[in-house]
Structure 1
Amino acid sequence: MHKTGFAKNTMRYLQQDSGGFPIRVSAVMPNEYKPTYVAKVEACAEEFSLQVKTQYAEIPEPGFVLTMSEDGLGLSDTNDPKMLPLQVDFTSSALAYRKEKGGGRNEAIAKAVGIKGKDSLHVVDATAGLGTDSFILAAVGCNVTMLERTNVVCALLQDGLQRLAENPEYNELSERLHLLCGNAGHILKTWSDGNNGAEQVQLGVPDVVYLDPMFPHKKKSAAVKKPMKMFQTLLGFDDDADDLLTPALDLAKQRVVVKRPNYADFLAGKPPSMQIKGKKHRFDVYICHK
């Protein structure tokens, strides 16, 4: 996309029906792309149950906004305008390096989910967040279904997946990533009960369910970078994470993997079958006996 001949910023404001999270969608686009931009805004509003707002005065506090530009969708903080938007960018240099040099199937996360030989596992990442772990699992050959309950994060993930699919270098990898938006606990339970939607039926029962709930940092730990701090402030911590373990165990054919900080207690107080430990995190592995 050319970056010359830009028109004046076109603004649209989106807000969740449930309230509480204001979203500003703005773009600097060439004139000929304006209809496409408006269509993307309207599609985003419809798909993620957002309302279009035409006046900035209608947007309440806090200052978190989604900004749409030629670079895609990003999460920003109006109180810190110098901070770059937080985006889901699966083609970033950091992820590209990890994909090529990160150890592949020898990575701890790959060992934790149980990848062996040329087998391709179906992994449900029930706490997708910004999708980094899902991407790594897809890069080592897994078919990954991402679950995310927050509309704003779902919008970021979908935008990242769309841009990934448009990059010819990632065609094969992008086909191994799927996104379902909704409450993970409900999706896992209905999936295991057989009350599947069309997408679950098509995807099939997963071999592995992966959980990486948001967990408070230690007070003495290194400072969290601003974009991630903004993300954590927006979402809070997963106080209901314990409730995910039982439906995950009921659903998975082979194992459930829980990523935890080394200082954290077991999820739901349940000791795992085994552990794979790293410097800061560990993977608690629960083998399913079915």
Structure 2
Amino acid sequence: MNIINQPYVGQLAVLYEGHGDPLPFQQLAARLGVPLYQGLPKEIPEAFLLTWRDGILKLLDRELFKKGGLFVDIEPRSGEQRSWPAPKQDALAHALGRKTRTVVDATTGWAQDSLHIFRMGYELLCIERSPVMAELLADGFMRLAGLDWMQRLNLEPPCLLTGNAIEILMALEAPPDCIYLDPMFPPKRKKSALTKKSMVVLRDLLGNDQDKEQLFEAAMKAAGKRVVVKSPDYAEPLGGKPSESFQGKLLRFDVYLK
């Protein structure tokens, strides 16, 4: 697991609530270049807080403070197999391709697709541009490494790189079979009850992906066989007409073959 430290610029602080060793909290604040609060002050100017609760690194905003926070969930989503390797039966698996072995997820985010790809047995490299998300991911992957089935099968969690995905893709030593992109598209409606809190927070942290066209071009140059783009069903295909598409619930996977 490889974390390239980059200072976070934004409205974030680390919170130490007085439980356990304060050193990891101090180190986290130093890595991100953000304030550290020891105990909750009456007023917090920052919009987001990072803290460990129940042994899990969590991201809080004012709404989430008493609800437990957001974190990288390493458990399979509803409908996904718990076995390893999980059957390659859904739309994502069909998009990745039967002969694909190596996958790069260039827009990891909360890693729900990444972890599904990993559980299906692909060799996976994850890229995340946000230093904040990278810390949450590193914590999640560390918890993944400690699971009984991971240790029993002698598996390592996905490799994680933090930085500009366009630059990292251009510097890859060997082309992966597939590069997976899940860029953030502007929402269809400004406010939607269906929008998950995790996506709202991610959008607040990072904004919409303004460089997704450039990322797609870089992915097409760096991929060995194919690029897969996950899109909401209302969005135009990112790279023009795809070679093929696989439909999911309210979304689709566009495949661009080389």
TMscore range, shorter length: 0.7 to 0.9
Unaligned runs of 5+ in 1: 1-15, 192-200
Match of 2:92 in 1: 109
Is the 1:24–1:65 contact (alpha carbons within 8 Å) kept by the matching residues of 2? Answer: yes
Work out which of the residue numbers 255, 261, 273 in structure 1 matches 2:226. 255
Partner SS for 2:171: helix
Is the 1:142–1:176 contact (alpha carbons within 8 Å) kept by the matching residues of 2? Answer: no
Partner SS for 2:236: coil
1:69-106 CA-partner distances (Å, limit 9, x unpaired): 2331001012543332000021x3x53851339x7301
Q: Size of the alignment, in residue pairs?
A: 247
Q: What amino acid does structure 2 have at the position aligned with 1:106?
A: Q
Q: How does the TM-score come out when normalised to structure 1?
A: 0.76
Please give the residue correspondences for 1:223-238 in structure 2 after superposition, counting only pairs within 5 Å.
Answer: 223-238=194-209
Q: What amino acid does structure 1 have at the position aligned with 2:216?
A: L
Unaligned runs of 5+ in 2: 1-5
Q: What amino acid does structure 2 have at the position aligned with 1:22?
A: L
Match of 1:98 in 2: 80
Please give the residue correspondences for 1:51-200 in structure 2 after superposition, counting only pairs within 5 Å.
Answer: 51=34, 53=36, 61-90=45-74, 92=75, 94-95=76-77, 98-100=80-82, 104-116=87-99, 121-171=101-151, 172=153, 175-191=156-172
Separation in structure 2 between the aligned mates of residue 25 and residue 125 of structure 1, nearest angstrom: 30
Partner SS for 2:252: strand
Root-mean-square deviation (Å): 2.7
Judging by fraction of residues, say which structure has more helix. 1
Q: 1:207 to 1:27 in 2, by over 3 A?
A: farther
What is the CA distance between 1:156 and its match in structure 2? 0.2
Q: 1:24 to 1:265 in 2, by over 3 A?
A: same
What is the CA distance between 1:215 and its match in structure 2? 1.4
Q: 1:246 to 1:79 in 2, by over 3 A?
A: same
Match of 2:11 in 1: 21
Separation in structure 2 between the aligned mates of residue 60 and residue 28 of structure 1, nearest angstrom: 17
What is the CA distance between 1:231 and its match in structure 2? 2.6
Greater relative CO (CA pairs within 8 A, separation 6+) = 2
1:48-87 CA-partner distances (Å, limit 9, x unpaired): 4434535777x96342111112331001012543332000
What is the CA distance between 1:161 and its match in structure 2? 0.4
Match of 2:257 in 1: 287
Partner SS for 1:100: coil
Q: 1:169 to 1:216 in 2, by over 3 A?
A: same
Is the 2:14–2:28 contact (alpha carbons within 8 Å) kept by the matching residues of 1? Answer: no
Runs of 4+ residues deviating >4 angstroms: 54-57
1:180-225 CA-partner distances (Å, limit 9, x unpaired): 000111111233xxxxxxxxx5xx4311100000112222854323
